[in-house]
Structure 1
Amino acid sequence: MKNVKSIFAVFVLFLLFSFSHNDMSPKVGVKLGETAPGFTIDDTLSGKFDLNSAKGKYVVLNFWASYDANSRISNIRFNNEISRINKDDVRFVSISFDPNENVYRETVRLDGVDTNTQFYDNEGESSGIYRNFRLQKGFGNYLIDPQGVIIAKNFSPEKLTKLISQ
């Protein structure tokens, strides 16, 4: 009987130590509490953006296209809200999935949004970013904390200040 207890005790200790040494960082995904999937996007207008290099700042990640009126309006509203709060620790990154780059460029010009925050994904809805963030028609947005963890999804620009001050 002592042997069974000893074997059981060793087994329990083994389990405890194996769990205590696991990496406790959140898994990569698109749910709240998960680490956002990394990506790099290069745009001739805005330059290059690498999500992994933005750690240490909040990132408002917005997805839109000129053919989707609601996402276009949301892009303008986020642009205005972020310029209003003027926080150095917040980065706004807005990615368009327009099928035509000229339409995207003209829309950015007409809407008067900050060109340094706007990026064009020339692969559109078949891009890795679109798939990795599980986007659908109507697109959406994410708020990523300074550690790279998703803390909000599909929130309004008006809620941004409250979310980053928590």
Structure 2
Amino acid sequence: MRSLLFLLVLLEYSELSAQNLTGKCPNIKSGKVYVINQSNETIDSVRIVNECFVVTSKLREPSLFTLRSSAFDGEVYLVLEKNRPLSIEINPRGEVKYLINTLINVSFQKVHKDYINFQQQILKLSPSVDSLDNDSLMSLRSTAYTQFIQKITDFIVQKSANQVSALVLFEIVHLSNLLPVNELKKRFDMLSEAVKKSSYGQKISEYLIKEFTLREGNIAPEFELVDVENKVHKLSDYRGRYVLLHFWASWCGPCRGENKEWPMMMPVLSQLPVTIIHVSQDSEKKEWLKAIKADGLECFIHVLNTKGKKGDVVYDYQISGIPDNVLISPDGTIKQKKIRWTDLEKLVK
């Protein structure tokens, strides 16, 4: 069955107001579109009737929704704002044509397009490119990253008084782990006071407050998680050794791509005074175990991020996007966050 994932960012201001999205669906006679909130709860569903559907919602704060349907393919990002209806036409392949657009949606789509182009550039500059040496690859990747971050920064400066700037900073920059926390705060400080108080602004602010409590040199949060054989692993069990926590999931494309490099590095990693623990965010144990075997990672310690006695380790370590890594010193303090595991050798010597 084909499926469509619509990620809708619904923007509005403080008071209640109706939001309308009109969709025309040529050659689709019937079907159902589900409205999903950020907690993955279905809050509404609408039928496709006479090749059309209409979504009407009432919200107090800017909110992120997902529309899902079995009738279409593709993935589309949309921004709706208060009292400005948006109308789209979707064909069975999930291709979208805007019939009525808004300035905020146009702004967001431009940034999102730049982000997709940036991702494609990075993928093209993967280690599998045989014609370039590692230094050349790293230089080109660094240039692409710098150029994209500059575009984001320019956008935030230009739109500092518009809520779309906080939306972009949270949804694209923060959730994709594109900036270290200090650099994220610099961009957050560029926002107007009103935008900082918006829903997305508050989410960024809350993240920054929690993140600064997990500064390098502070005690790393304890955890108790079980591995593939149901053995319990606690951080305190490894006191006296470096510990690298690698956060990933079987459904994460970039994670699976990076997984292929781990076995090749095993001869080097095995000589280092560090224990590597792969922390999965999978909800399905079967898929987790299948990915471990498929990627040849059986030689590493693997645990599931279940909420055990010491809570949610992903929340405790403020992991906002994956893959991600945290290095913990032998004394139990945080050595470094958001590191590349390829830099591990120089960090533990």
Establish whether TM, by shorter chain, passes 0.5.
yes
> Which 4+ stretches in 1 moved above 6 angstroms?
none
Confirm whether residue 98 of structure 1 aligns to residue 285 of structure 2: no
Confirm whether residue 64 of structure 1 aligns to residue 223 of structure 2: no
1:153 and 1:38, CA in 2 relative to 1: closer, same or farther beyond 3 A? same
Quote the Cα distance in structure 2 between the aligned partners of 1:83 and 1:48.
26
Quote the Cα distance in structure 1 between the aligned partners of 2:325 and 2:228.
23
Confirm whether residue 31 of structure 1 aligns to residue 31 of structure 2: no
Quote the Cα distance in structure 1 between the aligned partners of 2:230 and 2:341.
22
Larger of the two Rg values belongs to structure: 2
Aligned to 1:22: none
Aligned to 1:138: 322
SS of 1:70's partner is helix
Aligned to 1:54: 238
- How far off is 1:140 after superposition? 1.3
Aligned to 2:45: none
1:89 and 1:143, CA in 2 relative to 1: closer, same or farther beyond 3 A? same
Q: Which runs of 5+ in 1 are unaligned?
A: 1-28
Under a length normalisation based on structure 2, what TM-score does the superposition of the two structures give?
Answer: 0.36
Aligned to 1:43: 227
- How far off is 1:88 after superposition? 5.9
Aligned to 1:158: 342
- Match of residue 107, structure 1, among 291, 295, 298: 291
- How far off is 1:76 after superposition? 4.4
Equivalent runs, 1:69-84 vs 2, <5 Å: 69-78=253-262, 80-84=264-268
- How far off is 1:45 after superposition? 2.8
Under a length normalisation based on structure 1, what TM-score does the superposition of the two structures give?
Answer: 0.71
Aligned to 2:332: 148
Confirm whether residue 85 of structure 1 aligns to residue 269 of structure 2: yes
Greater RCO structure (CA 8 Å; 6+ sep): 1
Quote the Cα distance in structure 2 between the aligned partners of 1:138 and 1:116.
18
- How far off is 1:30 after superposition? 2.5
SS of 1:161's partner is helix
Q: CA RMSD in A?
A: 2.3
- Higher helix fraction (1 or 2): 1
Q: Report sequence identity in percent.
A: 23
